[in-house]
Amino acid sequence: MDENMRKHVRIVSTILIVMGGFYLLAAVGITVLGLMAGNNQMQAGDVAVLPAILTGGVILLPLVLLGSLHIITAKAFRAGKGWSRIALWILSILNLGNVPVGTGIAIYAIWVLIQTREEVVNIND
């Protein structure tokens, strides 16, 4: 593989790590807001605390999973692991729905995957 494609692999990996960090940061922010809101509701004697906590969990679980998967897949893709290509295809397809930024990132990642389909990429060589 030429040096130009190694740069693209490095760029895609970095973008995915940053994107995963944003997912995890959003999960932390939602957790803090949920705890503050739950505390206010409990002090007011509101009985709707449990549904609010369950709703927050439904939102947080996918954010934490997606963030972790983005970071793990990006590091594995940069290291040239074979399984990371499949995981990156799945994440790219999922990111196509994140209009407009996620769509652009997904299209770029798919382009890199197509350009490097013949070989497993290890940019550390």
> Residue 122: CA atoms inside 13 Å, Cβ hemisphere, count?
7
Residue numbers of the domain that contains 79 = 3-115
Q: Is residue 10 a part of any domain in this protein?
A: yes
Cβ-based neighbour number of residue 116 at 10 Å: 19
Does 20 map to a domain?
Answer: yes
Measured at the CA of 102, the angle between CA 30 and CA 106, to 5 degrees, comes to 135
Is 121 within the bounds of a domain? no
Cβ neighbours of residue 79 closer than 8 Å, sequence gap 6 or more? 122, 124
CB 74 within 8 A of CB 16: yes
Domain assignment present for 42: yes
Note whether residue 123 is domain-resident.
no
What pLDDT sits at residue 124?
59
Which residues neighbour 54 within 8 Å (Cβ) at sequence distance 6 or greater?
Answer: none
When computed from its CA atoms, the radius of gyration of the chain, rounded to whole angstroms, is: 19
Give how many domains the chain has, as a whole number.
1
- With respect to residue 122, please indicate whether it lies within any of the assigned structural domains: no
Q: Establish if 43 belongs to a structural domain.
A: yes
Per-residue pLDDT of the chain (125 residues; tens, 9 = 90+): 688 999 999 999 999 999 999 999 999 998 888 778 777 766 767 666 677 777 777 889 999 999 999 999 999 999 989 899 999 999 999 999 989 999 999 999 999 999 988 765 555 55
Domain presence at residue 102: yes
Rounded-to-integer distance, Cα 121 and Cα 50, Å: 48
Question: Taking a C-beta distance cutoff of 8 angstroms, is the pair 73, 91 a contact?
Answer: yes
